[in-house]
């Protein structure tokens, strides 16, 4: 578990999908761009989001 509400996790996954870092199909999650996902993770943590 990651310690966030379901709503927050859904919002985060939707944002990552919009930015083409991941793909969601039913219950399957695929990382489509590892470099982009890493950049987004570092950017978000630097902003405290």
User: What pLDDT is attached to residue 47?
Assistant: 54
Reported confidence tier of residue 45, pLDDT bands at 50, 70, 90: low
* Alpha-carbon distances of 27 from 23, 30, 47, rounded to whole Å: 10, 10, 29
Q: Angle at CA 9, nearest 5°, toward 30 and 31?
A: 15
Residue 21 near residue 40, CB atoms below 8 Å: yes
At residue 48, does pLDDT exceed 90?
no
Q: How many CB atoms are located within 10 Å of the residue 16 CB?
A: 22
- pTM for the full predicted model: 0.76
Residue 11 near residue 1, CB atoms below 8 Å: no
């Amino acid at each position: 578990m990651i310690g966030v509400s379901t709503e927050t996790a859904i919002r985060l996954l939707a944002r990552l999908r919009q930015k083409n870092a991941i793909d969601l199909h039913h219950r399957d999650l695929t990382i489509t761009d590892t470099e982009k996902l890493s950049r987004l993770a570092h950017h978000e943590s630097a902003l405290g989001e």
